Structure 1
Amino acid sequence: MALKKVEDRPTPPAVYNIRVYTAAIVAAFAAIAIGYDSAFFGTSIALVSFKNEFGANTVSDNSANLVSTYQLGALAGSLAALPCGFYLGRRWGLLISALVFVLGAGIMLAADSGSGFAPIYAGRVIAGFGVGAASNLTPLYISEISPPAIRGRLVGMFEMGWQIGGLVGFFINYGVSENLPVSHKQWLIPFAVQLIPGGLFAIGVPFACIESPRWLIARGRRDEAIKNLKYLRKLEHNDPYLIQELNDIDLQVENDRTAVGSGFWAPVRHLFSRGFLLRRMAITSSLFIFQNGTGINAINYYSPTIFKSIGITGGNTSLLTTGLFGVVKTVASLIWAFLLIDQLGRTKLLMIGSAGCAVSMYIIGAYIALAKPQNKTTPALDSAGVAGVFFLYLWTAFYAVTWNGTPWVVNSESFPGAVRQVTQCFAASSNWLWNFVIARATPTMFANMGGGGYGVYIFFAAFTTLSIPFIFFLLPETKNVPLEEMDRLFLDPRPWSANGRVLAELQRERADRADPARAGKEELLFDPQGQAQQKTKGREDFVEQV
């Protein structure tokens, strides 16, 4: 029952096949690289071997810059992915982003006491550029190849990759600190491991990821689009489901072309000249403000500081605790991807997560303000300290099953095809911008917001609380709604209940098409060869003759 698929039309079981899952998983290898960086880098620069190589004071003075250059590169990459994906396609865009990341990761390995931080800075900007581009293209690509009933689950592979990479990153540093002597090799190995997910991503894309049928149809490459859609759905060209999906895509593409025009700048102009689309983009992109406002990247990049503020001392103890944090995130994210995102939906998850995260952060902040664990002289945690750690892990569980991946899913599916890549570009840019802000500001926040940084936790809790009314009143539930019907969903004046009305309307319209006597509308169908036919029933939509 938990894995029941809610469909907007009768769907052949063959549609849910290994091909579409494989393409989504390979595309999500980009996220493994992103997640690995978020976990390994902050703990790597905290290793004694790294501080010995570059100087403890130098590392401390440059830590915020070392962390945040990656986000700046990713911000630039997410913007550059727009022309790349438009002109070259999703598949080539993913491959190029993978190669750029591998180049940047390799450059970092040239760093030592002689060269200083220069190779790390350069490599992190370049690697960040690659993953920033991929963070734009991967959710876009997966959403375009996914059947509606499992779209959330497949886009969720991006988030799962993020968490798997993070889990590996947390434990790599614990492993080298436990098993290798303090040396150049000890800190260099975690840097080198980046090449593994990056290399697998670059190798896998040409073999497992075929071009998006939606992008091909938009470029007039119908034969390739039909071939790719048949492959992804494991259906023959005359299957009613495939015919209907081609019809829906073609209608959307033609309507987009009529309304928006052609050329690279046409969707940009259209987006910024349509208030309802700008409002929608403002709502969905703002999810990344609230996501980063939960405090996740403060914990990811500065986990030793976070655990020290709760009272956990000792290098290896802190690393192990950080690794357990990664375990909780990964397990919870598996539950999110396979049991929750396509069952409970997007908005319920976000509001539940906000409530749980806010309460946990309020309690941690109060504990630090009252108990002052940063001043304790013994490594053992007292009962209050154990409770503080428990609520941090509880916060982690709430975050991972809700806010961790849901904003990516919502942004990847909320816009018509004509502007989807533009809006996805702004969504990814929003993520990296606020990721950069938090990564750059966290050390300063801990130094200035109360003893032990208790004010930081209160700040994150208050920010998360604000997200609940924002979501309830402004964001409609997108679960199970086809990509081609998102305009109808977001134009509904009551977002909190729009999903049920739109799905009911779609079911009635499907029934009308199946029984033409029921409705005086115009029906559009594809013949078995993919050519357009139009039956006069009063509708103004049209499909270009092939």
Structure 2
Amino acid sequence: MTTTKNNNNIVTIDSSESIPEKPVKKFRWRVVDDTSPKEIYNMVLYTSALVFGILGAARGMDEGTVSGNLYQQSFRNLFGLNDPNKDEHQIADLKSNIAAMVQLGSVGGSILAMYTVDKLGRVRALQEVCVLWIVGAVIQITSRSIGQLYAGRLLEGFAIGQTTTIGPTYMSEVAPPAYRGLFGCLFSGAVYFGIFVSYATNYATAKHISGTSHSQWMIPISLKIIMAGLVLIGTFFSNESPRWLLKVGQNDRALKNLCKLRQLPPDHPYIVGEINDINEQVLVEKEALNGYTWYHKFKDILTVKSIRYRFFMIGAMSQLLGQWSGANAITIYAADLFSFAGITGVEVMKMTVILGVVKFCSAYFSAFFIIDFMGRRKALYIGIIIQMLAILFFGIFLQIVPHATIKGSILSPSERAASRAAMAALYISGIGWTMGFNSVQYLLGSEIFPLKLRSFGQSLIMVLHFANQYGNSKAVPKMLLTLSKYGAFYFFVGVCAMALFWSWFFIPEISGRSLESMEEVFNLPWYLVGRRGAVMCPDHSEINKVTHGEISSIHYNEDGFDKNKATGEHIEDASNRRNSDDEKDAKYR
């Protein structure tokens, strides 16, 4: 036996055994949770996540459906879009009113969600939304006047506005920390599942149903009823959020639901740690919630430094920059944009289907392989760069080949090749959007706020989301006329350039952190939050101190020596982890 002195500690090593090399962290294309019990990833969790995740399709189905409806001849004839007595500005106004009516209703729905999500709970609020969604779709299907169509779309908007608070809030609360980004992106990815289904249905009805039949536009809308019914049925197999149950004082039910979602017994260290984390925050906030009215919530958003930063610099700016970056315009007015690239007839609808497929696949690829592996911050600014360059190319094409937008024009071989590249640019911009803004616009708002403001803050951010989307949907037809078609896309490029700086300077990396550990990051000086927050404020939550699994390999301390040769099911090394974190904190003081 030989001994080696290291930092005043005597470590005994068997000289007959070679000291193994430090394990090297292998590159992985996905996050792998090696420290949590494998039981927490189970069918009960997946079922609840599927029900609340597919809820994102509500917004996507509307955007995809209205995009096709505005191009369908039967719809245009019935609601005056082919009226020869209207000039191009009147047609643009009518088109924007039809497209934007759901966004206007969604503003009201987001405000309503401030009450329903906390008052009714996540599951009951979702059931109420499904009923509104079905009623709104029925009103639209039976419409034979523009006023009734507006009413149905407005009511549907009240449902969709609530989904963007209910879904992300629930997903962030039940997801294990290592995969919270993936779970949140299931919701945002479902938006493009809805868009793809709607685009495909519009293409099928345009190709196989006569332009004189109302079924051409009614069938795509009827899919909303089917989707809402399936989600409503699924709610009866979902488990209410344990965090919400603890917040409203249903402690026994909260523990029971958490055990169901994690498939672990109540005395398991993981359950104990997670319940302690939630309970600690709930107890602290309950003291502060005495007399905590909406006035006080608004006041905190305006006056509390850390909350003000979260709301304005992250939540509000993500909606402002994201909605004016051009992605929403491409989704809703996709048929018009493909016609600008020289595509005509039913082939336009075919191109929108391909766009739906690209965005759908890209959204879920980002969810499974990018958002948690690369982190929110890096995924965001890489996505913005891709989106910006693609939109810039499309704008340049419209400027160099302006006659491509004129119906019946003939393109030269080189112009036709440029036209195909311009269409590809629209697809590529969708990849950038789903990788960047689409992944974070729902996810960040549901993660960054403290429990007492989580659903309220997310709802308020969604008010801004739909207000900006309404303004964008209303403005784009006019922008294409007044700024010229290429000028509108140059405007979107400018917004993307501003967003690139914003994502680098203001967005902190919060991948893998527990929801209860966010406060330390946002209490830093504002100029350090985005660039240094994650490094300066490690996650000290209880759940991050618990590791699980049979320890078959050597566990090294910072000097490279084995610190624990014991094998066991549950190992907690809180003191060593805390000491290491304290040293990191001291480094940045």
Alignment of structure 1 residues 65-84 onto 2, 5 Å? 65-84=97-116
| Residue 549 of structure 2: aligned partner | none
> What residue identity is the alignment partner of 2:98?
L
Q: Is 1:157 equivalent to 2:191 in the alignment? A: no
| Residue 409 of structure 1: aligned partner | 443
Q: Is the 8 A contact 2:274 2:543 kept in 1?
A: no
Q: Is 1:332 equivalent to 2:359 in the alignment? A: no
Question: 1:420: how far off?
Answer: 0.7
- Stretch of structure 1 that moved more, 276-285 or 416-425: 276-285
| Residue 301 of structure 1: aligned partner | 332
> What residue identity is the alignment partner of 2:359?
K
Q: Give the direction of change, closer, same or farther, for the CA distance of 1:332–1:491 in structure 2 (3 Å limit).
A: same
Q: Give the direction of change, closer, same or farther, for the CA distance of 1:259–1:518 in structure 2 (3 Å limit).
A: farther
CA distance in 2: counterparts of 1:231 and 1:500, whole angstroms: 34
Q: CA deviation digits over 1:16-70, x for unaligned, max 9? A: 2222121111112321121011111121122111123333127935211111111
CA distance in 2: counterparts of 1:62 and 1:367, whole angstroms: 28
Q: Give the direction of change, closer, same or farther, for the CA distance of 1:46–1:12 in structure 2 (3 Å limit).
A: same
Question: 1:412: how far off?
Answer: 0.8
- Stretch of structure 1 that moved more, 494-503 or 23-32: 494-503
| Residue 215 of structure 1: aligned partner | 244
CA distance in 2: counterparts of 1:249 and 1:489, whole angstroms: 18
Question: 1:155: how far off?
Answer: 1.1
**Which of 495, 502, 511 lines up with 2:537 in the alignment?**
502
> What residue identity is the alignment partner of 2:178?
A
Q: Is 1:418 equivalent to 2:447 in the alignment? A: no
Q: Give the direction of change, closer, same or farther, for the CA distance of 1:487–1:53 in structure 2 (3 Å limit).
A: same
Q: Is the 8 A contact 2:164 2:442 kept in 1?
A: no
**Which of 225, 238, 242 lines up with 2:267 in the alignment?**
238
Write 1 or 2 for the structure with the bigger share of helix.
Answer: 1
CA distance in 2: counterparts of 1:325 and 1:515, whole angstroms: 49
Alignment of structure 1 residues 248-287 onto 2, 5 Å? 248-261=277-290, 263-265=292-294, 266-285=296-315, 286-287=317-318
CA distance in 2: counterparts of 1:210 and 1:185, whole angstroms: 38
CA distance in 1: counterparts of 2:578 and 2:357, whole angstroms: 57
Question: 1:518: how far off?
Answer: 7.0
Alignment of structure 1 residues 443-458 onto 2, 5 Å? 443-450=477-484, 453-458=485-490
Structure 1 vs Structure 2: percent identity of aligned residues?
28
Question: 1:491: how far off?
Answer: 2.4
| Residue 45 of structure 2: aligned partner | 20
> What residue identity is the alignment partner of 1:365?
G
CA distance in 2: counterparts of 1:464 and 1:520, whole angstroms: 40
CA distance in 2: counterparts of 1:135 and 1:201, whole angstroms: 15
Q: Is the 8 A contact 2:305 2:523 kept in 1?
A: no
| Residue 39 of structure 1: aligned partner | 64
Question: 1:497: how far off?
Answer: 3.0
SS at match of 1:315: coil
Q: Give the direction of change, closer, same or farther, for the CA distance of 1:518–1:171 in structure 2 (3 Å limit).
A: closer
Question: 1:468: how far off?
Answer: 1.2
| Residue 527 of structure 1: aligned partner | none
> What residue identity is the alignment partner of 2:283?
E
CA distance in 2: counterparts of 1:437 and 1:296, whole angstroms: 14
> What residue identity is the alignment partner of 1:280?
R
Q: Is 1:106 equivalent to 2:138 in the alignment? A: yes
| Residue 542 of structure 1: aligned partner | none
| Residue 523 of structure 2: aligned partner | 491
Q: Is 1:181 equivalent to 2:181 in the alignment? A: no
CA distance in 1: counterparts of 2:439 and 2:520, whole angstroms: 24
| Residue 172 of structure 2: aligned partner | 143
CA distance in 2: counterparts of 1:467 and 1:434, whole angstroms: 15
Alignment of structure 1 residues 105-144 onto 2, 5 Å? 105-112=137-144, 116-144=145-173
| Residue 531 of structure 1: aligned partner | none
Q: Is the 8 A contact 2:329 2:476 kept in 1?
A: yes
Q: Is 1:388 equivalent to 2:422 in the alignment? A: yes
Unmatched segments (≥5 aa) in structure 1? 522-546
Question: 1:2: how far off?
Answer: 2.1
> What residue identity is the alignment partner of 2:331?
N
| Residue 530 of structure 1: aligned partner | none
CA distance in 1: counterparts of 2:334 and 2:454, whole angstroms: 35
| Residue 432 of structure 1: aligned partner | 466
| Residue 526 of structure 1: aligned partner | none
| Residue 311 of structure 1: aligned partner | 342
CA distance in 2: counterparts of 1:448 and 1:144, whole angstroms: 45
Question: 1:472: how far off?
Answer: 1.3
Q: Give the direction of change, closer, same or farther, for the CA distance of 1:520–1:446 in structure 2 (3 Å limit).
A: closer
| Residue 206 of structure 1: aligned partner | 236
Q: Is the 8 A contact 1:31 1:161 kept in 2?
A: yes
| Residue 528 of structure 1: aligned partner | none
Q: Give the direction of change, closer, same or farther, for the CA distance of 1:515–1:300 in structure 2 (3 Å limit).
A: closer
Q: Is 1:351 equivalent to 2:381 in the alignment? A: yes
Q: Is the 8 A contact 2:508 2:534 kept in 1?
A: yes
Question: 1:111: how far off?
Answer: 1.0
CA distance in 2: counterparts of 1:257 and 1:51, whole angstroms: 54
Q: CA deviation digits over 1:395-440, x for unaligned, max 9? A: 1222222222222111110111111111101111111111101100
Question: 1:515: how far off?
Answer: 6.1
> What residue identity is the alignment partner of 2:473?
A
Q: Is the 8 A contact 2:165 2:459 kept in 1?
A: yes
| Residue 524 of structure 1: aligned partner | none
Q: Is 1:469 equivalent to 2:522 in the alignment? A: no
Question: 1:261: how far off?
Answer: 3.2
Q: Give the direction of change, closer, same or farther, for the CA distance of 1:519–1:158 in structure 2 (3 Å limit).
A: closer
Q: Is the 8 A contact 1:153 1:342 kept in 2?
A: yes
Q: Give the direction of change, closer, same or farther, for the CA distance of 1:305–1:428 in structure 2 (3 Å limit).
A: same
Q: CA deviation digits over 1:166-220, x for unaligned, max 9? A: 001111111001111221222211121211111112221122x221111111111
CA distance in 1: counterparts of 2:289 and 2:534, whole angstroms: 26
| Residue 525 of structure 1: aligned partner | none
| Residue 29 of structure 2: aligned partner | 2
SS at match of 2:36: coil
Question: 1:143: how far off?
Answer: 0.7
CA distance in 2: counterparts of 1:413 and 1:302, whole angstroms: 31
SS at match of 2:437: coil
SS at match of 1:306: helix
> What residue identity is the alignment partner of 2:482?
N
Q: Give the direction of change, closer, same or farther, for the CA distance of 1:520–1:462 in structure 2 (3 Å limit).
A: closer
SS at match of 1:473: helix
Q: Give the direction of change, closer, same or farther, for the CA distance of 1:177–1:515 in structure 2 (3 Å limit).
A: closer
SS at match of 1:227: helix
| Residue 534 of structure 1: aligned partner | none
**Which of 398, 401, 406 lines up with 1:371 in the alignment?**
401
CA distance in 1: counterparts of 2:544 and 2:125, whole angstroms: 37
CA distance in 1: counterparts of 2:333 and 2:510, whole angstroms: 34
